[in-house]
Chains A and B, each alone.
Chain A
Amino acid sequence: MSVAGRTLFTLAPLTALVAVLWVLGTQTLPFDFGWDWIPALDIELAFRIDGLSALMLLMITGVGVAVFVYAGGYLSGHPDQKRAYLLLSLFMVAMIGCVTADHVLVLFVFWEGTSLLSFLLVGFYHERRESRKSAQQSLLVTGTGGLILLAGFIVLGQAVGSYRLSEIIVAVPAMAPTPALTLAMGLVLIGAFTKSAQFPFHFWLPNAMAAPTPVSAYLHSATMVKLGVYLLARLDPAFGEWPLWVWLLKGVGSVTAAWGMVLALRERDLKRILAWSTVATLGTLVVLVGLRGESASLAVGALLLAHALYKAPLFFVAGNIDHGAGTRLIDRLGGLRRQMPWTAAAALLAAASLAGLPLSFGFVAKDVISEAKGLGEVFTFARMANTVFGTIAVAVAGITAVRVFWLRVPPGGVREAHEGGAALVLPPLLLGLVGVVLGVYPLLAQDLLAAAAAAMSPAGAGNAVPAPLDPQPDLGSLLLGLMFGVAVFLLWDRCHRGLEWLAVRTGRIGMSSVYERSLEWIPRVAAWTTRRMQTGSLPAYVAWVLASVVLALGVMLWLGSAEWTWPARAVPSPGVAGAAGLIVLGAVFACLMRDRLVVLLSVGLIGYGSAVMFLFLGAPDVAYTQFTMETVFVIVAAAVLLKLRRMGLDRAVPEPAWRPGALLLSLLVASVLTALLLAVYATPFDPVLSAFFGEQSVPGAYGRNVVNVILVDFRALDTLGEVAVVVLSLLAALPILQAWRRRARARRPGVGT
């Protein structure tokens, strides 16, 4: 792909960024806009940009520009580079839709859009099996979570009476916690947790590292995994006063943060180390959403921004190392600073922020976080999780920025490595620099973060001005964290071996293997139900269908049975009674007789009986038709029967003469349908149509036989369609019968040729 093409694609996020800046500069937040979508269902394409949306939008588009530039270099020469650009562009649109949608169903559509697009992006190297598997896993986890989220949204919308996020967060705090609301909250939480890789759905995120590095940098630093946190922050004003909500967020977030960091120690792959540290950051974010108070909201915004600004460049660095040195395994890397000086510089800038060193934006975020925890009543476990998180963050920063560039020249000397082009070096450097600039001048981000914090606060409380971002270095705790971190950094390999030893022994209870096993169960359950339902027996299938009919009609009749009166009893006319007698005779014989010819004749008797009945009910046309049809049918069916007999198939199929189950079901079906007929008969009759036909037949259609006039004039199109069906069915049947004759002749050489 040419440079011009790449530039063209890069214009997409750039334009979006400019547009976002323009909106922020010219409009007062919150800024609403929308169009009708499905007016019948009262679904509107409603969008709303407030402080939180603005923060997310800036990250999506800003990091997006860096990612698009980087993808130009990283995937340079890849035959499918265009596809990557297209998918990334679509993904960006879906993300923008997600963070601006005000209608929850619109939000859901974009949410699932990000899941689907991330499936395609993670599976970008589709020729690799591992890649396909990871893509499938991320789609199954986040897609299923999305469906649960939809259920939650619907329950929430029904309970609140509005599907607008802006109205929900106002309405819910005033409502009592009904079971429906609690259910909605639980479902929404599951949806958000799957998306943001919270425990126990954390396992898909590191596996998604099979994606190309630009995709990882985009999806797992600034965008997709942040969606869950975004949604939680968005709904926090609604549910923030519920103890259940607070405790779930704090608990799950703490476990995720601690567990993610510990698992980071297990890895040797740079990208997977970063992925686990992302999981841990997401956990911390969830805890912060759960904490009360203005400064907690401020901390959420600060950490969101800081993480995007350091994690994206670190992914870029990992990608550069992979690109330049051919591996991402930290055992084989070391002393790369001479070959890759610019990447090393970018790594240092970003890692400083990750470790929370002074003069980086990470330090600012860390300061706000500790302030938030100091203000709110602090869950002990959350504090411990944060300590683990901080410690290992320092270690991870050391690994990615120090170890591979400055230390540990592996045996056999420094690997052959080379620096990538400007497209590979500039994005991480720029993002790292932004982090440092914001670290030195945190007031630059003050307005943005304050607006975001206001959006996360309950209505009415958003007026309080948050404390200015003016970090006070607490040297004691800073040094303590650094010391622990450096210790872990130095003992990394030892920790790794220990954890590996543990992991091998506890693999079966890990979520990853639970997921694998549940995947294996799907086909097993499917096979079992198929075996039970699809037995291969035609009578069983017919019975299934008929039983369902009986059930549906029976329930319907039973529910309405209170309003019915049965028709009055009267002695039938002799003709009708005689016809009924013929029918009964035929029906009984048809069921009892074994010989097929007798059964056929009994069926004919039923037909003639119903013809007689038609005659005496005042329907001569129908009666003549039925007579002729029945005669033709019996002759034709007898011919088929004779053929079967000549082929030796005249013996009846070996089935019991008496089938009680079938008899019961047939009696049930007949009873339900007859009851339906009687019920219909007992209701008042609406003669509008019949009267119309009776009045209009002679003056309007010049015909005295009203039945025929209906057939050929009033409802002629209907008749035309029916005749066409008959002719078409013949066209379908003829090949079957002609093939039969051809085959029969082919078996008898010398005949008919």
Chain B
Amino acid sequence: MTSRIVILAVVARPLYLVILLASVWVLLRGHDEPGGGFIGGLMAVSATILWAVAHGTAAARARLPLGDALWPAVIGLLLAALSGVPGLLGGGAYLTHLWWTLALGPAELKLSTVLLFDIGVYLAVWGALAGYALALLAVDERDQPGGAP
């Protein structure tokens, strides 16, 4: 292991956290400022790839929600699909979004099915594209202990 890779491995942990936090921030502010589920998801993918380059694809895969790329992808898809159901039950068309405002003292928290939908997109993009990226990156890995499954 060369010193370059050691440095990458050391830097990867804080960077990974920072990128993931940033991606969540981009996701949450997306409705009002540039950002949203797609961009947030792609940022999360880049965090995963950073981990894969530093520690191998198997380790990166293990750090994904529920330990595999397919889980976030499928859960995100389900979440996005289900976020349309309340609107349907409320008498609107499928994917008619509902909004609630919670007053928390001075600030107020806006909750909506739109947020659920966007989180679903975020998870699905993260899972699906990370799945692609990890599978393709794994092609180049020597079959070493600790490599990809």
Listed in ascending order, the chain A residues whose CB lies under 8 Å from chain B are 620-621, 624-625, 628-629, 631-632, 635-637, 639-640, 642-643, 646, 701-705, 707-709, 711-713, 716-717, 719-720, 723-724, 726-727, 729-731, 733-734, 737-738, 740-741, 744-745, 748, 751-752
Contact A723 B80 (CB under 8 A): yes
Contact B36 A711 (CB under 8 A): yes
Give the residues in chain B near A734, CB-CB below 8 Å: 70, 131, 135
Interface pairs (22), CB distance under 8 Å: A621-B35, A621-B38, A624-B39, A628-B39, A632-B45, A635-B49, A636-B137, A642-B140, A643-B140, A702-B31, A702-B114, A703-B31, A704-B31, A704-B33, A705-B31, A705-B33, A711-B36, A723-B125, A726-B129, A727-B76, A730-B128, A733-B132
Contact B49 A636 (CB under 8 A): yes
| CB-nearest residue of chain B to A715 | B95
Please tell me which one of the listed residues A712, A716, A731, A738 contacts residue B36 in the complex, with CB atoms under 8 A apart: A712
Listed in ascending order, the chain B residues whose CB lies under 8 Å from chain A are 30-39, 42-43, 45-46, 49, 53, 69-70, 73-74, 76-77, 80-81, 84, 94-95, 97, 99, 110, 112, 114, 117-118, 120-121, 124-125, 127-129, 131-133, 135-140, 143, 147-148
9 smallest beta-carbon distances between A and B, as pairs: A628-B42, A708-B36, A703-B31, A643-B140, A639-B140, A620-B34, A737-B135, A704-B32, A716-B95
A740 to B36, CA, bound (A): 35
Q: Distance (Å) between the CB of A697 and the closest chain B CB?
A: 10
Contact B32 A705 (CB under 8 A): yes
Please tell me which one of the listed residues B118, B127, B136, B137 contacts residue A712 in the complex, with CB atoms under 8 A apart: B118
Please tell me which one of the listed residues B31, B74, B110, B135 contacts residue A727 in the complex, with CB atoms under 8 A apart: B74
Contact A723 B76 (CB under 8 A): yes
Given known A625-B38, A752-B147, contact A727–B73 (CB-CB < 8 A): yes
Contact A636 B143 (CB under 8 A): no
Give the residues in chain A near B128, CB-CB below 8 Å: 723, 726-727, 729-730
> Once A and B bind, how many residue pairs between them come within 8 Å at the CB atom?
154
Contact B139 A701 (CB under 8 A): no
A705 to B49, CA, bound (A): 28
Give the residues in chain A near B120, CB-CB below 8 Å: 723
A752 to B145, CA, bound (A): 7
Please tell me which one of the listed residues A702, A712, A716 contacts residue B110 in the complex, with CB atoms under 8 A apart: A702
Given known A701-B97, A708-B31, A713-B114, contact A727–B77 (CB-CB < 8 A): yes
A727 to B36, CA, bound (A): 18
Give the residues in chain B near A737, CB-CB below 8 Å: 135-136, 138-139
Contact B140 A703 (CB under 8 A): no
Give the residues in chain B near A720, CB-CB below 8 Å: 77, 80-81, 84, 95, 117
A707 to B80, CA, bound (A): 18
| CB-nearest residue of chain A to B26 | A624
Contact B114 A701 (CB under 8 A): yes
A631 to B97, CA, bound (A): 34
Q: Distance (Å) between the CB of B75 and the closest chain A CB?
A: 10
Q: Distance (Å) between the CB of A733 and the closest chain B CB?
A: 7
Given known A639-B139, A703-B114, contact A716–B38 (CB-CB < 8 A): no
Contact B36 A705 (CB under 8 A): yes
Please tell me which one of the listed residues A631, A643, A703, A716 contacts residue B46 in the complex, with CB atoms under 8 A apart: A631
Contact A712 B139 (CB under 8 A): no
| CB-nearest residue of chain A to B81 | A720
Q: Distance (Å) between the CB of A426 and the closest chain B CB?
A: 70
Q: Distance (Å) between the CB of A615 and the closest chain B CB?
A: 10
Given known A632-B129, A639-B140, contact A621–B95 (CB-CB < 8 A): no
Contact A709 B31 (CB under 8 A): yes
A646 to B139, CA, bound (A): 11
| CB-nearest residue of chain A to B44 | A628
Contact B139 A724 (CB under 8 A): no
Give the residues in chain A near B76, CB-CB below 8 Å: 723, 727
Sample of 17 more A-B contacts, CB < 8 Å, known A639-B137, A730-B128, A737-B138: A620-B34, A621-B38, A636-B136, A639-B136, A701-B97, A705-B31, A708-B36, A708-B118, A712-B31, A713-B114, A720-B84, A723-B120, A723-B125, A726-B124, A726-B128, A727-B74, A727-B127
Give the residues in chain A near B45, CB-CB below 8 Å: 628, 632
Contact A717 B34 (CB under 8 A): no
Contact B143 A752 (CB under 8 A): yes
Contact A744 B143 (CB under 8 A): yes
Please tell me which one of the listed residues B36, B49, B112 contacts residue A632 in the complex, with CB atoms under 8 A apart: B49
Q: Distance (Å) between the CB of B55 and the closest chain A CB?
A: 15
Q: Distance (Å) between the CB of A709 and the closest chain B CB?
A: 7
A632 to B137, CA, bound (A): 11
A628 to B94, CA, bound (A): 32
| CB-nearest residue of chain A to B127 | A727
Contact A717 B137 (CB under 8 A): no
Contact B34 A621 (CB under 8 A): yes
| CB-nearest residue of chain B to A627 | B42
| CB-nearest residue of chain A to B30 | A708
Given known A632-B49, A705-B33, A712-B37, contact A719–B121 (CB-CB < 8 A): yes
Given known A624-B39, A635-B49, A745-B143, contact A705–B132 (CB-CB < 8 A): no
| CB-nearest residue of chain A to B74 | A727
Give the residues in chain A near B33, CB-CB below 8 Å: 704-705
A341 to B15, CA, bound (A): 107
Give the residues in chain B near A636, CB-CB below 8 Å: 49, 132-133, 136-137
A639 to B135, CA, bound (A): 10
Give the residues in chain A near B139, CB-CB below 8 Å: 639-640, 643, 737, 740-741
A745 to B37, CA, bound (A): 37
Q: Distance (Å) between the CB of B143 and the closest chain A CB?
A: 5
Q: Which of A635, A646, A701 has the most CB atoms of chain B within a 10 A radius of its CB?
A: A635
Given known A642-B140, A702-B99, contact A738–B135 (CB-CB < 8 A): yes
Q: Which of A621, A701, A733 has the most CB atoms of chain B within a 10 A radius of its CB?
A: A621
Q: Which of A632, A708, A720, A730 has the most CB atoms of chain B within a 10 A radius of its CB?
A: A708
| CB-nearest residue of chain A to B132 | A730
A607 to B74, CA, bound (A): 29
A620 to B30, CA, bound (A): 12
Contact A724 B77 (CB under 8 A): yes
| CB-nearest residue of chain B to A635 | B49
Give the residues in chain B near A632, CB-CB below 8 Å: 42, 45-46, 49, 129, 133
A711 to B74, CA, bound (A): 19
A707 to B30, CA, bound (A): 9
A724 to B97, CA, bound (A): 19
Give the residues in chain A near B125, CB-CB below 8 Å: 723, 726
